[in-house]
């Protein structure tokens, strides 16, 4: 497993700042062949943006805090860690929306889980870490 890219992005906690996620991810995925890079970017951008918007909308971040994103791209995996100092959030406690029942909100984790191969969460002190991992190869489900 060879390291291809490593990067960090600091975001102000607002929707306008979250627009930087796509170009940040593209800088890494452009290092792959074009087909693999585009396939990976389309999944990663939506998943990471959704996770960051969940933090921005629901974490009740302290005044002056930022959302920190760390990226590690290898020949096998894209791993993005999202750090924040907001409220405790464990994605394992989020229920899956009921099928055929319309609701306005509550699809974020379902969307994220459908796009990535692995989601993990941990809380250390007052800091949340959400880790998203996507297999770089084909749509092989490497869980």
| Residue 2 pLDDT exceeds 80 | yes
Cβ distance 82 to 53 under 8 Å?
Answer: no
Confidence of residue 139 (pLDDT cuts 50, 70, 90): low
Quote the pLDDT of residue 138: 59
Quote the pLDDT of residue 42: 95
Query: Who wins on pLDDT, 19 or 96?
Result: 19
Question: What CATH number does the domain containing 63 carry?
Answer: 3.30.565.10
Residue 56 lies in a domain: yes
| Residue 142 pLDDT exceeds 60 | no
Quote the pLDDT of residue 111: 92
Q: Which of 92-96, 106-110, 117-121, 136-140 is predicted most confidently?
A: 117-121
Residue 126 lies in a domain: yes
Confidence of residue 123 (pLDDT cuts 50, 70, 90): very high
Q: Which residues of 112-139 are buried (b: 16+ CB within 10 A; e: fewer)?
A: bbebbbebeeeeeeeebebbbbbbbeee
Residues spanned by the domain of 131: 3-135
Per-residue pLDDT, averaged over 43-58, amounts to 96
Measure CA of the first residue to CA of the last residue in the chain; give whole Å.
Answer: 17
Per-residue pLDDT, averaged over 43-71, amounts to 96
Residue 119 lies in a domain: yes
Percentage of the residues of the chain whose pLDDT score is greater than 90: 79
Could you give the number of structural domains in the chain? 1
Residue 32 lies in a domain: yes
Per-residue pLDDT, averaged over 117-130, amounts to 96
| Residue 60 pLDDT exceeds 80 | yes
| Residue 137 pLDDT exceeds 60 | yes
Residue 140 lies in a domain: no
């Amino acid at each position: 497993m060879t390291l291809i890219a490593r990067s960090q992005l600091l975001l102000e906690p607002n929707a306008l700042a979250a627009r930087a996620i796509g170009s940040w991810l593209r800088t890494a995925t452009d290092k792959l062949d074009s087909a693999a890079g585009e396939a990976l970017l389309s999944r990663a951008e939506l998943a990471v943006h959704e996770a960051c918007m969940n933090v921005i909308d629901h974490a009740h971040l302290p005044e002056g805090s930022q959302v920190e994103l760390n990226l590690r791209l290898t020949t096998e995996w894209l791993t993005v860690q999202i750090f924040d100092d907001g409220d405790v959030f464990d994605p394992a406690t989020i229920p899956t929306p009921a099928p055929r029942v319309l609701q306005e909100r509550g699809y974020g984790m379902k969307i994220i889980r459908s796009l990535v191969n692995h989601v993990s969460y941990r809380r250390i002190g007052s800091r949340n870490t959400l880790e998203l991992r996507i297999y770089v190869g084909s749509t092989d489900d490497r869980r």
